[in-house]
Amino acid sequence: MVLSLIDYNINNYSNTIESKDIKDYQQNRYPLLFLDKILDYKPKEYALGLKTFSYNEWFFPSHYEDDPNVPGFVQIECLVQTFIMTFLTLDEFKGSKTNFLDATNIKFRNKIVPGDSLFIEAKLDFFKRGIAKGTAVGSVFDKYTCSADFVIAIPSEFEQYFPKK
């Protein structure tokens, strides 16, 4: 685990962001907003996210009808959407557009199926000049499922440091 801060009793958190309010912080929208809740966060340090998968999700019918499971790209999106909340919760970056620069060390270890709740721990290791680096780890309760390291840019901030012509 990244931080081992996850408390699987989701009622034990007081610093939460509900799904309807996540849209104020990031630009992901249906059908690509994959977070149900930010359970806890500390800007410039960490964010803890939650996604519960229902069989009614749009991707399950086509992702193995006889053995439905969450596609890898959806798992990565859950991880990165939690990760960007480590810096988009800063007032000056709230609602900013973000771009992937790099995703490495991507690992998938256990299948996620309809009915599972994915708990995500994201840690910000570096944030300067609109570039963020860090790690996110997903688990279904205490069973490790996926992880990745990310480098994400906030273009509006990053572009300020380009050489002037």
Residues with a catalytic annotation lie at 63
Nearest Cα to Cα of residue 82 among 145, 129, 128, 148: 148
C-beta pairs of 104-107 under 8 Å, 24+ apart in sequence: 104/148, 104/149, 105/147, 105/148, 105/149, 106/72, 106/76, 106/146, 106/147, 106/148, 107/146, 107/147, 107/148
Q: Which amino acid is at 29?
A: R
